[in-house]
Amino acid sequence: MPAEPSVDRALRVLVTGGAGFIGSAVCRVLARRPGTEVVVLDDFSTSSYANLHGVPVTVIEGSVLDEALLSQAMAGADAVVHLAAIASVQESLDRPLEVHRVNVTGTLTVLEAARAAGLVHTVIASSSSVYGSGPELPKHEGLRPRTESPYGATKLAAESYALTWQRSYGLPVLAFRFFNVFGPRQNAGAAYPAVVPAFLEQTLGGGAVTIFGTGEQSRDFTYVESVAEVIADAVVRRVAHDEPVDLGFGVRTSLLELVHELETALGRPVDIEFAPARTGDILHSQAEGGRLAELFPGLRPIPLAEGLRATVAWMHEKGER
């Protein structure tokens, strides 16, 4: 692991996809840290400036596929947090080449810019989707990946490139595999929203929540602020690792249990409508989390119930309902 810089030193961090759901949370946590400058590179294809409202960041609008813009954004950076991607299984099934370009070629372009700028510490977003629906639970980094969607394949390729850039060129890299992140600013308006914002949107709109399949399928839901804290800590301490690191906290919740937690957060019953299971959906997902705990011993993740309460409160505050 590279040496930890002095805490007094100003830190310049480039966050690609920094206007997105996870990216804007990362920017908030980083910008709270004295002496930290945050630069966002985002093409706003699935996000808006509103996500960064009140956050002191410099915004560069454009694509990670634009090499010249990327090297300009990378200039003087101490670290890059690369989150820009098309983060949708369904989009990847519909437009596999385009999703490959953004998720894989985009990552390669970031890695090359980080290398050219003097081996800038690089944190990248992979996904638990690389595990597919193999029967082993909990998931751990020693398992053989078995991707089930083009999206999963792009994330596996991206992390593989990043770790190879570490081994081939000495680029300090940390490749996180995120597990079902949820929280404020998650896009419920997307064509294929993630389960927590979809449920919230449906039930706050007065309807039933739609469960594809039996509802027994389960996920390791991780609250976005906990994820952002881990990423910020990784940047500040320049944490690098030769293998991917699962960023999930080891609590598995079925969709039926999630509905129950939602009922508690809302203080009222929630109706359910069942629909047929979807292609590419994974049955169960849960991180073992040993490597994460080793690298981040101070980690205190926010539990699901608390995260859901905060997300519901944010939706009410947003005044959409």
**Tokens at 317, concatenated:** 């505050």
Work out whether 187 is an interface residue with ligand NAD (CB under 6 A). yes
Cis peptide leading into residue 2 (ω within 30°):
no
* Dihedral in degrees, nearest 10, Cα atoms 24, 82, 296, 10: -80
Q: In this chain, which of 4, 7, 10, 45 binds ligand NAD, going by CB under 6 A?
A: 45
Work out whether 102 is an interface residue with ligand NAD (CB under 6 A). yes
Candidate segments 2-10, 15-23, 257-265, 302-310, binder of ligand NAD by CB under 6 A: 15-23
What value, to the nearest 5°, has the Cα angle with vertex 252 and ends 247 and 253?
A: 125
Candidate segments 4-12, 21-29, 255-263, 307-315, binder of ligand NAD by CB under 6 A: 21-29
Candidate segments 37-45, 71-79, 142-150, 203-211, binder of ligand NAD by CB under 6 A: 37-45
Work out whether 157 is an interface residue with ligand NAD (CB under 6 A). no
Residues 189-228 touching ligand NAD, rule: CB under 6 A, are 194
Instruction: Please count the residues of this chain forming the interface with ligand NAD, following the rule CB under 6 A.
Output: 31
Distances (CA, A) of 237 to 4, 79, 177, 195: 5, 11, 19, 33
Q: In this chain, which of 28, 31, 39, 46 binds ligand NAD, going by CB under 6 A?
A: 46
- Per-residue mark of binding to ligand NAD, 53-72 (x: CB under 6 A): ----------xxx-------
Q: How far is the CB of 125 from ligand NAD (least distance, A)?
A: 4
Query: Where are the strands (E) in the chain, listed by range?
Result: 11-16, 36-42, 58-61, 79-82, 121-127, 173-178, 181-182, 209-212, 218-219, 222-223, 245-247, 253-254, 272-275
Q: In this chain, which of 11, 13, 14, 23 binds ligand NAD, going by CB under 6 A?
A: 23
| 3-state SS assignment for residue 126 | strand
Look at residues 90, 138, 65, 101 and name the one whose alpha carbon lies nearest to residue 284.
Answer: 138
**Tokens at 16, concatenated:** 């690609």
Could you list the residues that contact ligand NAD (CB under 6 A)?
16-17, 19-23, 41-47, 63-65, 83-87, 102, 106, 125, 127, 178, 180-181, 187, 194
